[in-house]
Structure 1
Amino acid sequence: MLECNALQYATCVAWREIRWTEDSETHIARHDVTPDEVEQVVNTRPRLVEPGPGDIEEVYGRTDAGRYLVVILSEAEDGRDFVVTARDLTDSERRSFLRRTT
């Protein structure tokens, strides 16, 4: 996985390749999130990347349409990122994201 933290969000620009499975697409659809929205959040700026437990990363960002999401990633066996889940930010998460990125 790409090593990057919240303080480095402005310079952390490497493209992240997602390993999609039918299960991961079905799971994020339950939150009304599309694979395109996940790709936008993971691969555009500004975004914040926070470490989670184990090999989990939380990626906070905004889609091209302006939707604020958090994407939870884990490293797949092939080195790509696997989407565990994705959802809308809560109001407090959104305020924190905006405060930290503007």
Structure 2
Amino acid sequence: MAAISLAGLAYDGGQVVSSYMGLSDVAENAARLGGQQIIGVRDGDPHVDIDAATKAMKAYLSVRGITGVFQIRGTQVQVKVSQMISMKILGLIGISRRTVQVVRVVDVVDG
């Protein structure tokens, strides 16, 4: 039992870390893409176009088979993504899956 647990922590734990890193990159890139949809700069009221940013971020995530939750406030864009990871070895001792969730925020600044 201890050997299975140790092997599970090594293998399945590695899968969780790998998934976290991949999701982190995807969430960060989606947030950056949303942040590029800035309008109102010449009017002195820069802010992210909510519709354009949401559309761009959804399309970006969709291509990667991921869905997300977006919050846009002024020049700040937040993206939250999650993914369910199946535990191959830890599943043998009752830990069948783990949810990996990542939140990334981009704040558009002038300069």
Give the TM-score of the pair, scaled to structure 2: 0.29
TM-score, L = length of structure 1: 0.31
Tell me which structure has the larger Cα radius of gyration: 2
Which is richer in helix?
Answer: 2
Higher-RCO chain (CA-CA 8 Å, sequence separation at least 6): 2
